[in-house]
Amino acid sequence: ELARVTTDGVQYALSSKRSLRRYLQAVGAIVGDLTVAVRNGTFTVGQIEGRFAAMLEVGDRFVLGARTWRVASMTGAEVQVRPDRGRETTVPSWAGARAAQSERVSSACERVFEALDAAMELPAEPARVAAVRAALGSGEDNARAVVRLARAQRASSRLPSPSRFVVELVRDKRRLHVVAFTLAGSTANEVIARAVATRARRDTTLGAEVAATDECAVVTFSGLSEAPDEATLRRWFGPEQLFEDLLDSLDGSALAGAYFREVARVSQLWTSERGRGTVTPGLLYDVLRKHDPDHVLLRALRFTLWTALDGPRAERSLRMMAGRAWAVATLDRPSALSIPAFAWAERDAVRPDDPEAALAAAAHALFQRAAALGGDA
């Protein structure tokens, strides 16, 4: 069974027609849907999407199969959980497999923000509304709402543009949120947030939570007494060694384990039909990480993670941001444009019976605070 390939020292060949058939049936380069098993001891609770599993940490709670579970431990192969009947309210969200915003749309959004910034320089409200209507092709009511949004954003921070990179430092009790408006799409922004958290951990020894929307990458620190200065932020958001820092943040994670399972399947080292007692992808992954970290399968895994998580786009985005003027704002509340990211976090902190209502209520409350800074009642 193991000697499926023979060689005469020059050429290689499959040892039998059966091996050839199995190879042709399973060979490929398309990674399937990545899922991670969730188990309570030996009992299988269900499965979760790999990227969601990568966001979890020990102690986090989430809902699966109409029950709330607390993460007890994680490996590259599974997430071990225990039933949770407490009254705590932090439940990580599952964003699902939504498509990230394209680069073309992101560039158009930056141009729209630039047009809004120019409109806000006009002296009279009717002129601002007219300029926004012309820029967006919208009705008057929508234009007035956008003017209100832009005014609220400019009251505490700046609007991003093709020449300006906006970073906001939002203090929330003992937490500090670093919100960077990269407009790189949700997948690439997740890469950026993970890399920033890895770099910040080297500097501060503090862990961080990460979140991403299409517009911004968010890194949240607990217990960070002093906000980073612009020089530190430039280093954290630099494009250099992004590949290495992303892989460092994912090494041994459930997401990396899920992708390695697919690498092992494509390389014919494992199939889901194999019986009990055979070498599992999780065991193989752990052994290679410990004893042969430069193995070809691990190199294939790194390349797969980099491309599947939109690493090239994240790197391009950070290179563009490095060449722009930086606008760093220190705030005591979320800005108007950061509301989607903060509202999503509030959705996690949670009424799981009606999360959409929780999201709408959180967004409304945050915008009322931001609009007050812009002079709106």
DSSP 161: B
pLDDT of res. 128: 94
pLDDT of res. 118: 95
pLDDT of res. 77: 66
Output phi, psi for 74, to 5 deg. -140, 145
pLDDT of res. 31: 53
pLDDT of res. 1: 44
pLDDT of res. 350: 44
Separation between Cα atoms, residue 37 and residue 28, nearest integer Å: 23
Helix axes 140-156, 125-136, angle to 10 degrees: 110
Contact of 260 with 285, CB cutoff 8 Å? yes
Q: Of 252, 237, 178, nearest to 210 (Cα)? A: 178
pLDDT 10s digits, 249-261: 888 777 788 788 8
Sign of CA dihedral 299, 304, 309, 311: positive
Listed as ranges, residues in the chain with pLDDT below 70 are 1-4, 22-34, 51, 54-55, 65-66, 76-77, 86-98, 271-278, 344-377
pTM of the predicted structure, to 2 decimals: 0.74
Reported residue count of the chain is: 377
Q: Of 111, 53, 107, 55, nearest to 77 (Cα)? A: 53
pLDDT of res. 114: 95
